[in-house]
Structures are given as structure tokens and as C-alpha cells.
Structure 1
Amino acid sequence: MCLGDDPTCAAFAEHRMRYRRDMEPERRAFLKSSFVATGGAAALAAGGLSLVTPALAQASRAKSVERCRHYHLPATAETVHWGYFSRSLKPQVEIESGDFVTIETLTHHANDDAERMVAGDPGAESVFLWTKGTKGVARRGAGPEDAKLGPGGGLGVHICTGPVAIRGAEPGDVLEVRILDVAPRPSANPKFKGSTFGSNAAAWWGYHYKDLLTGDKPREVITIYEVDASGGRDWAKAVYSFRWPGVTDPDGVLHPTIDYPGIPVDHTKTTRTYDVLKGIRVPIRPHFGVMGVAPAEAEMVNSIPPSYTGGNIDNWRIGKGATLYYPVAVAGALFSAGDPHASQGDSELCGTAIECSLTGTFQFVLHKKADLAGTALESLDFPMIETREDWVLSGFSYPNYLKDLGPDAQSAIFAKSSLDLAMQDAFRKMRQFLMHAKGLTEDEAISLMSVAVDFGVTQVVDGNWGVHAIVKKAIFAERTA
């Protein structure tokens, strides 16, 4: 059934309005208490909709506090970490299993049009503050403290809000993250009231960049899109585009290409093309490009390549109604979210999606290692996506590149990725899932993968390339084991 997230549904408008009404603040408290009171995960599992069996749901609920709490985590210069994950980050909030957190996330491309995406927004202004010698967030990336462009060196680009620590989470556990709501962050500039904006960069790291046919080659082009801030309109439209002009930052450094996150664009030096993508409506798919927990293998990890703990997966299915399962690698799990997108196609071909600030409401459920035996989550060692209709497995060129590629992994990964390797990983993960979780023989699994599983290119721009494998739950409707 459409929950207000399927624009092809004949009753989409009605379902969308109903969902938005149900998620009003005064209704959220009711939804939270009723979900917990009815053993929500167990109810879903009983209907065959979840990887969490009734027994596992009951075990996890027994370890949760009796009353769930709802926290709010704003995006400010004090609550974000820019361009990296770290096992040593101080938690912004510490919660119990079963608790809810509303997390604000900012796109790192907001300064492509600060007038529309930063101005008047105290949180965004604090994060993007950059004057000569001063930055609201000094560290941008996982590089050294004394990097030429400032701490972090821009070796990682995504603004991540968090982390959220889950009490009792330990390596070997599995963290279940339910995305209950996703809402656009409205422009705070009165000139653009009622709208939200996002930026798409056809940039030097895009798949297309060395294969251009027309015009000046090479070139980087930014397209600014508008989204209805109320969420009532299910499509985005292009507003204008401009060529990256070469930008001198407030510290006097010239950036001929988009080589550092958060560079403020001086639009007195750009030429805007307003007659762009005329008459085209882009269906919105609000989701989080980056969601995940902290890896254990290194102190600071570049936010760009995804890995076994999640991170920059860039799969548009990680939106409202989806559930993510992550293997916990460090104490507390240390969950963060960022890289919000209004929409993206599979492959994210030109470099980015419609990078658009969003706010999400999440519920966190911790499944202890001791309770996982005999379940589909027993040997989970990669981020897994579950939607109402599908199970989605994420394959990468290197499943755990930090471990697979040794001490130089964070630089080596950008030269070693391939779709062949990512496809091989997705195949192996799906084979294991079908055999372990669904009880198929290897021959049965291979046959089913060929006739009923969809493999798609998740992204080819994140260093560690991705292929996802999708299997529909309805296939197993008559299977009892």
C-alpha cells in the first residue's frame, strides 16, 4: 500500500496528506507509544515483513527501557562533523534501544547558492560561516590537522550530524535504524518562503567528465533545483544552472574546480542560465546519501567511500519507510546521518544527486549478538536495506576497503574500484542471504538470482563503487521455512 511515498499511486495525494497529518508533533507521541506497546517489530515480523523474527524482536524489546524517549538533534557548528567518521567522536546524544531521534541534516553544497540555502538559517549559517581566518567548522575531511587547505584537507566532503550513541551497543551487535519520516528543510530567506532548494554538480569526479561531446571540455556545471518545502508537490524543477567559474575562497585560495567542500560561490562572477530543463518534472525521492556507524579500522575515515558500516551508500531507497541494519563495530555504534538528497537516480552519474537539506525522524533498535543466532542477521557484516516490499543488499568493489587494502586504503580505494568487483560482492552477499536467511540450496539461490533478483548500479562516484541487489519479499509468500 502507498504510504504517501509512491507518486504512481492513484490515491497518492490522499495518502500523502494522511501521512503528513499522522506525523504532526502531537500525533508522534501517540505513534511512538502505540508502536512500543504493540511490540512493533514483532508485529511486522509476524506478517513476514521484516528480517527481525518475533523472537528476536521480543528479546530486543526486553532489553529496552520501558518508556521510549524522543530526542531532537539540530544541525549546528557544534553538532556536525564534516567529511569524516571517527570512532573517537564525542556523542551528541546518548539513547537507549527503542528511542527516537529527529536529526537535522545539511547538504554540503548549500553554498552553491547561499542566498537560497543558507541565508537566515541560524544552524546553516553557523556551519557555513567562513571569513578570512575563521570557519564555523574548521575540520573538513579526514586529512591531517596541518593540511594546506585547513584541518582535514577536504579529504571527505559530507556534513554529518551526530553521532548518536546507543547505550549497550558493542562490536558484534546489529543496529536496526527505522526511518519514520523525512521532511525538506525550508529556505529561511523570506524571498523564497515555501520552497526548499538543492544543488546538482556535474563535477570532475563524475562518470561523464572525460566523455563530453559538446561545448567547452572539460567543464563543471551546477544546476539549482526547487522543491516544495511542504512536501505536497512530489517533483522538483530546475531553477537555473551555471558554470563553475573558479572561486577564490575567503582565505584567498583559488579553486579552479570543486576541490574543497563548502566553498562560497560569488554569483557576481557566474552567468546563470534560467531556461534549463524546461518543462521537466523530476520525481522527488528524499533520502540520506550518508547514514552509518563508525568503523573500527582507523581513527579518522574519509566520508566519501562507503564500507561495511554504511556511510556514503548513495542509494535513493534509504528514505521514509526504509529500515537499515548495520553491524556494530565500536562501542555505542556512533550513528551519524548526512548527505541529504531530494532525488537521485541509480548511479549518481554526474557526481551528485539533488543535494538538499532534510530532517529525518529515526527509531533505533539494538539487537545483541547473543540473540542473533539462527536469525537472518546472525552473520550480517554489511549494511542491509529493508523496505516494505524488498530486501536490498549493498555490494561494493571492496566490502571493507579499510581492511582489504591495508594502510594506504583511504587513498588506494579511488584507483582500484570497478563495477566487476562490486557486482561480484553483491552476488556473493545475495547468495549468502538466500541460502542462510531463506534456506535455499546454492543451486536454487543461483537460479533465483538470475530470474527474479534485480542488480543495479548504486553509484560510480564514491571511490568504492556500488552495486545493489534487490529481491522482492512477495517471492517468498508461500514459503514456510
Structure 2
Amino acid sequence: MGHGLCHRTIHRHQQHLKWSKANAPVLTINSGETLTFDALDGSNGQITKSSSVDALDTFDVNLADPAYGPVYINDAAPGDVLKVEILSLELADWGWTAIMPDFGFLADEFPDPVLKIWDIDPSLPYVKFKDGIHIRKRPFLGIMGVAPGEEGEFSTIPPLETGGNLDCRYLTVGSTLYLPVRTPGALFSCGDGHTAQGDGEICGTAIETTLTATLRFTVCKNQPWVTAPQYQTPPLRELLSQEDVDEDKGEYAAMGIDSDLREASRKAARNLIEWLVSTKDLTRDEAYMLASVAGNLKMVEVVDMPNYAVAMSIPLNLFV
């Protein structure tokens, strides 16, 4: 095949649960080549389309967030940068969101397990949360990363400076991710498909789904400014249809003010949840999950010490 036209696939069994530069590559490619990854969801198949909330009782977090790979890219050396272009992302026909005990941004306030199974209709641009609430599909891979330079094994759950479980909703089709290479061949892996997510992913899960991703890899030399993940997104006009633009109704946001940035963020999340419960006829569990998959945490002010102002917003066009 010609340069850049390679269409090989990384399969579901080719996964690992720890980042390590000692992981043996499952494939070697050249810079400029394209690969497809067939990746199970972040539960690693522990939750299925027919699961009930009981599945959370036996959920083994040690099996969660598998990464698919690693892939060795020829000519990638420590100090280089791996450019990853996201060419296509194909969703499964279902997904899940959960509130898991002892996990999530407000875990102390939501002790009871909840599991929501979503129907993902490929013919629709949105998924239905419940009657009157539609969430636009914006698929992305939660995990994209390269092996750390340090010896040893690292969990795939927290993000690292070499990438990993970034859960960054901007890494959708048309976006490009730049990762600092720390070990020969870079050893790239990815996984943790999402149908949609808000900034913050506050309940701990997005709309988790199995995803088939096609990515292009290019080794970049002499980009010393990339010491942690950086990314570029396409213009919104390339991502949004005219229908999306026409349907924009602005957003509603609740603020949290505190001298601790995490507490300010928790207050903002809590205040948005209370607004959703009070005005949109949702239970607190529903509001927490909706804020996780569609709400956005942002720092609106960080200089007027000692207090930080954080807002959590939600697009009003969800409410149809």
C-alpha cells in the first residue's frame, strides 16, 4: 500500500491495563500511516446492553479503562512529539452512564449506585436522555497516550503528562493531539470511547461506549514546547451543521465561589444540579448524570485572591 494508506486494525484482545515502556508493541508502523482501533468501552465489557444496576456491585475497577495497543512508530525518539490526527470515530448502538459508589466529583453526596443504558440510533444526531432532553453526539476517545519514560507500571485511570485518560471532549473528529515522546517508538495506545461528555465528567462517567477509531500518526521533530498533551480543534463550522447553529439557545450556568479551587468547582456542580432538579423535573441522580454528560465546568476568575469563581453551565438546546 502507498504511504499513509495503511489500514491495519488493532483488535479488542490487544489491550493493556497499565502504562509501561516495557509493554511489547502489538504492531509497528511508519510515520504518516493510518490505523484503526476496535476498542471496547471503559468498563472493558463488564457492562453490557442488558446490564442492570447489579452489574455495579461486581464491577472490578482493576479491569477498567483498558488501552488498546501499544503501537511502535518508527523514528519516534525521546524528545520528539507524536502528532495524532483523529480521522473517524464510529459508535456502537448503545452506551452507559453510571453513578458508582465512592467515585465521582460529588461521591460523598451520591452514595447509591445508578446505571443508565442509552440507546444510540445511528440515524440520529443525538441520543435521548429522557422525554424532552436530547444530547448531541460528539464522540471521542477518553484515552490517548504514549508510554511514560520512567521505569515501572502506571494505572490507566489518572492522566499523565504523556497522555492517557484525558477525558477531553475536544478530541473529536477533525482534532489533532500532540503527545511528548518519552521512549523509543512512542508506544501509543488508546481506548475509552465516549458518545458525549461535558467538561469535568463530574459523576465519573460520560456516555461510555465501544468505539472504532481511525487515527493517523506523524512523528514531529524539534517541538520542545510540547511537554504534556496539547491539541488543536477544527473550526466549529466544520463540526456543526446549520441545524446545530440554528438550535443554539445559549446556556444556563451556576457559579461556585470558594478559596479552594476544587471546592469552588464542587459548589458550581452542586448549584447546577439543584437548578436542574428545581426547574427541569429531574431527580438528583438524573441531574448529576446529565451534568456529567452535557454540563461544562469552567474557571471564570482565578486572580482575585483568596476566592476563585467557577461556573458550571449547560446548553439550553438540550431541552426540546
1:105 aligns with 2:12: no
Aligned to 2:112: 219
Counting only pairs closer than 5 Å after superposition, residues 79-478 of structure 1 correspond to structure 2 as 79-81=14-16, 83-109=17-43, 110-113=45-48, 115=50, 154-155=61-62, 157-185=64-92, 196-203=93-100, 204-212=102-110, 218-228=111-121, 230=122, 232-238=123-129, 277-368=130-221, 372=222, 377-389=223-235, 419=261, 456=298
Question: Can you list the C-alpha shifts for 1:152-174, whole angstroms capped at 9, x where unaligned?
Answer: x8447212111111001110001
Distance 1:163 1:456 in 2: 33
SS at match of 1:70: coil
Asked if structure 1 preserves the Cα contact closer than 8 Å seen for 2:49 and 2:117, the reply is no
Give yes or no for contact 1:169–1:333 (8 Å, CA) kept in 2: yes
Aligned partner of residue 289 in structure 1, secondary structure: strand
In structure 2, how many angstroms separate the alpha carbons of the residues matched to 1:298 and 1:339? 24
Structure-2-length-normalised TM-score: 0.68
Question: Which of 59, 76, 85 is the equivalent residue of 2:12?
Answer: 76
Give the whole-Å Cα distance in 1 for the aligned partners of 2:12 and 2:200: 30
| Equivalent-residue separation in structure 2 for 1:74 and 1:308 (angstroms) | 24
Contact 1:199/1:355 (8 A) holds in 2: yes
Per-residue deviation, residues 31-84 of structure 1 (Å, max 9, x unmatched): xxxxxxxxxxxxxxxxxxxxxxxxxxxxxxxxxxx723413224332x111x32
Report the Cα offset of residue 344 of structure 1: 0.6
Indicate the structure with greater strand content: 2
Q: Is the 8 A contact 1:105 1:339 kept in 2?
A: yes
**How many Å apart are 1:293 and its aligned residue?**
0.5
Conserved 8 A contact 2:197-2:206: yes
Shift of 1:389: 3.5
Alpha carbons 2:18, 2:156 under 8 Å: kept = yes
Could you tell me how far apart the structure 1 residues matched to 2:28 and 2:170 are?
A: 27
What amino acid is the match of 1:183?
Answer: E
Superposed displacement of residue 234, structure 1: 1.2
What is the root-mean-square deviation in Å for CA atoms of aligned residues?
2.6
Q: Is the 2:6–2:33 contact (alpha carbons within 8 Å) kept by the matching residues of 1?
A: yes
Q: Which amino acid aligns with 2:41?
A: T
- How many residues are treated as equivalent by the alignment? 236
Does structure 1 retain, via aligned residues, the 8 Å contact 2:39–2:191?
yes
Letter aligned with residue 207 of structure 1? F
One-letter amino acid of the structure 2 residue matched with residue 219 of structure 1: D
Q: 4+ residue runs of structure 1 moved beyond 4 angstroms?
A: 153-156
Query: Is the contact between residue 49 and residue 95 of structure 2 (CA under 8 Å) also seen in structure 1?
Result: no
Give the gaps of 5 or more residues in structure 2: 52-57, 237-259, 266-295, 300-309, 311-320
- Structure number with greater CO (CA < 8 Å, separation at least 6) is 2
Answer 1 or 2: which has greater helix percent: 1
